[in-house]
Amino acid sequence: MTLQRPDAARMARSVAQGYVSARELLETCVQRIEATDARINAFAVRTLERARKEADAVDARRAAGEILPALAGVPYAVKNLFDVQGEVTLAGSKVNRSHAPARQDAFLVQQMHKAGAILVGALNMDEYAYGFTTENSHYGATHNPHDLQRTAGGSSGGSGAAVAAGQVPIALASDTNGSIRVPSSFCGVWGLKPTFGRLSRHGTYPFVQSIDHLGPLADSVESLALSYDALQGPDPRDPASRAERVQPTFSSLGQGVQGLRIGSLGGYFEDLATAPARQVAALAASVLRATPGVVWPEPALARSAAFITTASEGGRLHLADLKKQMADFEPLSVDRFIAGALQPAAWYLRAQQFRRVYRDRVNALFADWDVLLAPATPLSAPLLGAEWIEINGQQYPCRPSIGLLSQPISFSGCPVVTAPMWPGGTGGMPIGVQIITAPWREDLALRVAQVLQDAGVAHLKQVKL
């Protein structure tokens, strides 16, 4: 069954046209959170007093006859590494509890406020974003709304679960090695990892500065595009930000895929995918008439370089706290932080040298292709607590291997939309497909995503909880 509740785009239209008030939408959202979150554990913080003030302000603007902004009245939530004024930015940690509350909202939260969206809280995550399963030892695991025994993915598991469960239609998150795409895949929602540098990261707790991306998860392609457009804007406080490339995408939806050169990645991206993951990629390729067997350059080396970069930058960032409060770190990731802090500098430098060559080779692919397809995860969501997964008869360690197909893409900096699809052989669990384009061409990825949505092969499913 496809999604029955109104998506964010329709919510905004209904508020603007006076069919429903922002306060009414908010209270419906709050009721859903209260009815479901004891089982899902998506929310780390609820900002309901703030949300009610924001909703009432939207309703006052409409009563005064103002033209409302694009997301007016739409509830949303953010991963718990975004600064929210008056709240401590925990980033899923115990160590950060002693930090002072944020003095102002993160830049992207400010952008959502300008667009009229209503912030209802902050969402659970792997500590300091180092994980793929949101099995947080401090605040509890987030459960997949489609099967409460399974992971929602990570590190933005709360974001994926909150959208899948109908708690909010939009959630903001981060993606370093796959942390938007993995929860989107496991929870069956839409996700967008933009081009590296597209959206400002100011006011968010970092993980790996040279790879961190921010972006939205949403309940439809239209909602994804609306939120992405609202998030764009100049911000010199993030040195990686490329504000001069602001590009609206919502207006480009509906243009279809005629004339686009679409390929499907083979080799590594088939060999390290289970049969259901290959099935969804093949279905997307069939709908889009994609050419099979496109070779992505050096994906295994890129993943290795991403691991080295992640460990080195993450370990260095937390070294002082590791020396003083090691016992307060997440048991599932503390050893990796320590190991990263001890890595030879030469490894890190070599990984960065490879990355420069790698990016050139990836970008060269897009001289021949406009869009490339691949599974987002090797399989559907594993059980919580799983230590091993099986891919085509081979055993792999569960937590790091969930990112097999996402890490090589994020290390290139290319934008990716994850489309939620529903293969056989998974017990009704989703697996996402990555829609990959050249840097700064998020518009093409969203156009392709809408074609898959309109064809009925990519969509959310209603969750009964």
- Whether 179 is catalytic: yes
**Which one of the listed residues 21, 155, 185, 412 is annotated catalytic?**
155
Closest CA to 70 of 219, 225, 202, 200: 225
Residue 79 main-chain phi, psi, to 5 deg = -55, 145
- Whether 464 is catalytic: no
* Cα–Cα dist 406/403, whole Å: 5
pLDDT average, residue stretch 403-430: 97
Residue type, 308: I
Q: Is the separation of the CB atoms in 343 and 308 below 8 Å? A: yes
- Domain coordinates of the chain in residue numbers? 8-454
Q: Is 261 exposed, middle or buried (0-12, 13-18, 19+ CB in 10 A)?
A: middle
Which H or E element spans position 287? helix 275-288
- Whether 79 is catalytic: yes
Q: Is the separation of the CB atoms in 73 and 12 below 8 Å? A: yes
Q: pLDDT band for position 1 (50/70/90)? A: very low
**In 366-454, which residue ranges form alpha helices assigned H by DSSP?**
398-401, 407-410, 442-454
Q: What is the pLDDT of residue 338?
A: 97
Instruction: Tell me the per-residue pLDDT of 306-326, one tens digit each, with 9 for 90 and over.
Output: 999 999 999 999 999 999 999
Least confident of 5-9, 81-85, 202-206: 5-9
Tokens of 165: 């469960």
Tokens 């295994």 correspond to 300
Instruction: Tell me the per-residue pLDDT of 214-261, one tens digit each, with 9 for 90 and over.
Output: 999 999 999 999 999 999 998 999 988 876 667 889 989 999 999 999
pLDDT average, residue stretch 353-367: 97
Q: Which bin fits 214, alpha (ψ -120 to 50), beta or left (φ > 0)?
A: beta
* Cα–Cα dist 68/417, whole Å: 28
Tokens of 52: 């009610």
Q: pLDDT band for position 4 (50/70/90)? A: low
Q: What is the pLDDT of residue 245?
A: 66
pLDDT average, residue stretch 55-77: 98
Instruction: Report the chain's mean pLDDT, rounded to a whole number.
Output: 96
DSSP, collapsed to helix, strand or coil, labels residue 360 as helix
**Which one of the listed residues 79, 185, 193, 380 is annotated catalytic?**
79
% of the chain at pLDDT higher than 70: 98
Q: What is the pLDDT of residue 2?
A: 40
Q: Count the residues in the chain.
A: 465
Q: What is the pLDDT of residue 3?
A: 42
Instruction: Give me the helix-helix angle, 48-63 and 22-40, nearest 10°.
Output: 160
* Cα–Cα dist 295/390, whole Å: 24
Closest CA to 139 of 207, 41, 205, 47: 41
Is pLDDT of 83 > 80? Answer: yes
**Which one of the listed residues 93, 179, 185, 227 is annotated catalytic?**
179
DSSP, collapsed to helix, strand or coil, labels residue 304 as helix
Instruction: Tell me the per-residue pLDDT of 34-51, one tens digit each, with 9 for 90 and over.
Output: 999 999 999 999 999 999
CATH of domain 8-454: 3.90.1300.10
* Cα–Cα dist 308/306, whole Å: 5
* Cα–Cα dist 426/277, whole Å: 10
Q: What is the pLDDT of residue 174?
A: 98
Closest CA to 120 of 199, 184, 28: 28
Tokens 């993951």 correspond to 277
Is pLDDT of 178 > 50? Answer: yes
Q: Is 175 exposed, middle or buried (0-12, 13-18, 19+ CB in 10 A)?
A: buried
Does residue 1 or residue 361 have the better pLDDT? 361
Closest CA to 434 of 460, 455, 405, 456: 405
Tokens 């889009």 correspond to 288
Radius of gyration of the chain (CA): 20
**In 64-197, which residue ranges form alpha helices assigned H by DSSP?**
107-114, 157-164, 181-187
